[in-house]
Amino acid sequence: MKPTDKAKVTVLVTRPVPLDQLKKYASTKPLRRPLPRSNKP
């Protein structure tokens, strides 16, 4: 990593749903995913 890059970036992180509400209401059923796409141009 270039040493200057840390000075160029500010990071903000949020958690829209509190953990206790997740534990209470979120199902552990996994989210569906699309099939992988090929990487052909």
Partner 1 sequence: MPVEQQPPEVLALIIADHVHRDDSTGKFFILGTRASVGAAAFPFTCHSLTVYGSLVDGRGETLMRLRLIDADEAREPVLEFETTVNFLDPTEEVEIVFRLIDLAFPEPGDYRLQLFAAGQFLRERRFLVIPLENPGNP
Burial class (CB within 10 angstroms; exposed 0-12, middle 13-18, buried 19+) of 32: exposed
User: For the window 1-40, what string marks contact with partner 1 as x by the rule CB under 8 A?
Assistant: xx--xx-xxxxxxxxxx-x--xx--xxx-xx-x-------
What is the smallest separation between the CB atom of 20 and partner 1, expressed in angstroms?
A: 10
What is the smallest separation between the CB atom of 32 and partner 1, expressed in angstroms?
A: 11
CA 31/CA 28 separation, integer angstroms: 9
Phi (first) and psi of residue 17, to 5 degrees: -120, 125
What is the smallest separation between the CB atom of 14 and partner 1, expressed in angstroms?
A: 5
